[in-house]
Amino acid sequence: MRPRSQPSGASHELDQRPRRTARETAVRYHGSGAGWARSLPAPQLRELLSGRRLAVSGGGALSLVDYAEEIVRSGFPAIRQLPPRARRAQLDGYLNRIVERDFPEQGHLVRRPDTLRGWLAAYAAATATTSSYNAILDAATPGETNKPAKTTTTVYRDVLSQLWLLDPVPGWLPSRSAFSRLGAAPKHHLADPALAARLLGVDVPALLDDSAPDTPVRRPGHLLGALFESLVTLSVRVYAQAAEATVHHLRTWDSRHEVDLIIQRADQRIVALEVKLSPSVSDDDVRHLTWLRGQLGDDLLDAAVITTGSEAYRRADGIAAIPLCLLEP
C-alpha cells in the first residue's frame, strides 16, 4: 500500500489526539486495501450487515510475510512512508512522548517511568486477550515486592484511554437474547498493532518465528496471531462506525464459547466474525459461529471467518471465508 504524501511530519500527524482518534488515523491505511493486488468486487461489511447473505467472491494475493510487514509498518500515514529504521524511531518517540509529556499535561506526574513503560509492554503482550489488569501489572513487575498501587495502574489505564492509545473491545452484553451469563471483561488492543510490536521489540522475522518473542504475558498461540487479530479489529471497528454499528467480543462465563468480533446493528441483530491466521477454514474454525447461529437464529445476520487466504467464498454451511485484504466497509 502506498500512502499519499503528507504535508507534515510524523510528530504532527500523531499529535492530532483527541480531535481525531488514533484508531481513525491508523485505519486510513491499515487494512484499507489501497494498493493491494486483488480482484473486485470485494466483500463489504455493510453487505454482511444487510442480512441478505449474498454470494461472496474475490481474490487477493498477500502472504503471511506481507501481513507481518503491514503490522509493523503502522497505519499512521506520516510514519508508514518512512524507511524501517526511521519508522521505528518515530514509533518509539511517540511512546516516549506519552510517558514524558502527555501524562504531565493530563495532570499526572509519572514518578516511575520504567514501571509505566513496563505496564505498556505487558498490555501489548496481552493483545487480543481478556487478561485481568492485575495479571498485566504482575507481568509488568515480575519479582517486585513494591508494586504500584491499584489506584496508580487505574490512572495508567484511564489516561492511556483518554489519549486513545488503549482501544479495548468491550464484551457483548445483549439486552435481549437467550444468553444468561456472558463475560464482560474487555479484549485488549492498542490503537495500532505497530505500537504493540514496538513495545515488545519485535520485527517481522520475530513475528514469523513461532518460538519468539518471550513476552511478559504468557499467551496461547504466537504473537503474530494476536497482532493479526488486532489489525482485523482496527479495520472492522472503523468500518462498523461508518455503518452505525458497534463492535464487541463474545465470551461465555465458562469460556466454552468465544467469538472474536460481534458487530451489532441498532436493532440488536448482529454479524459474527472469527479471525484465523490461516489461509483456509476448517470445520473446527467455525464451531463457535455454528453454535452462535443455533443460539440466535435469524438475529444472526451473517457470519464469517477473516483469514490470510487468497479467495473469498461461502462454505457449504453458509459461513463466509474472507481474506483481510479483501474486506471493505
pLDDT tens per residue across span 86-109: 999 999 999 999 999 999 998 888
Which of 118-132, 201-215, 246-260, 284-298 is least confident?
201-215
Element at 71 (helix H, strand E): helix 64-73
CB atoms within 10 A of CB 115: 20
Residue 90's nearest CA partner among 101, 100, 103, 76 is 76
Residue 111 DSSP label: S
Q: Could you report the per-residue pLDDT of 44-79, keeping only the tens digit for each?
A: 999 999 999 988 998 987 899 999 999 999 988 889
- pLDDT of amino acid 39: 59
Over residues 168-180, the mean pLDDT reads 84
Structural domain contains residue 229? yes
Q: For residue 33, is pLDDT > 60?
A: no
Structural domain contains residue 74? yes
- pLDDT of amino acid 255: 87
Average pLDDT along the chain: 85
- pLDDT of amino acid 141: 84
Coil, helix or strand at residue 161: helix
- pLDDT of amino acid 25: 55
Structural contact between residues 103 and 159, judged by C-beta atoms closer than 8 angstroms: yes
Structural contact between residues 37 and 60, judged by C-beta atoms closer than 8 angstroms: yes
Structural domain contains residue 2? no
Q: For residue 146, is pLDDT > 90?
A: no
Reading the block at residue 283, the C-alpha cell is 470445520
Q: For residue 224, is pLDDT > 70?
A: yes
- pLDDT of amino acid 148: 79
Reading the block at residue 71, the C-alpha cell is 503490522
Structural domain contains residue 155? yes
Residue 273, Cβ density class (10 Å: 0-12 exposed, 13-18 middle, ≥19 buried): buried
Coil, helix or strand at residue 162: helix
Over residues 182-188, the mean pLDDT reads 93
Q: Using 50, 70 and 90 to split pLDDT, how confident is the model at 151?
A: confident
Structural domain contains residue 221? yes
Q: Could you report the per-residue pLDDT of 13-22, keeping only the tens digit for each?
A: 455 444 345 5
Coil, helix or strand at residue 302: strand
- Going by C-beta distance under 8 Å and a sequence separation of 6 or more, which residues neighbour residue 288? 257, 258, 259, 274
Structural domain contains residue 243? yes
Q: For residue 3, is pLDDT > 70?
A: no
Which of 25-29, 145-149, 208-212 is least confident?
25-29
Over residues 306-312, the mean pLDDT reads 95
- pLDDT of amino acid 153: 83
Total structural domains within the chain? 1
Q: For residue 5, is pLDDT > 60?
A: no
For residue 244, give the amino acid letter.
E
Structural domain contains residue 81? yes
Structural contact between residues 14 and 183, judged by C-beta atoms closer than 8 angstroms: no
pLDDT above 90 as % of the chain: 62
Distance CA 244, CA 4 (A): 28
The sign of the dihedral angle between the CA atoms of 98, 104, 107, 111 is positive
Residue 81's domain spans which residues?
10-326
Q: Using 50, 70 and 90 to split pLDDT, how confident is the model at 8?
A: very low
Q: Could you report the per-residue pLDDT of 255-303, keeping only the tens digit for each?
A: 899 999 999 999 999 999 999 999 999 999 999 999 999 999 999 999 9
Structural domain contains residue 4? no
- Considering the entire predicted model, what is its pTM? 0.87
Q: Could you report the per-residue pLDDT of 36-48, keeping only the tens digit for each?
A: 555 567 789 999 9
- Going by C-beta distance under 8 Å and a sequence separation of 6 or more, which residues neighbour residue 213? 200, 201, 202, 206, 223
Residue scoring higher pLDDT (2 or 256): 256
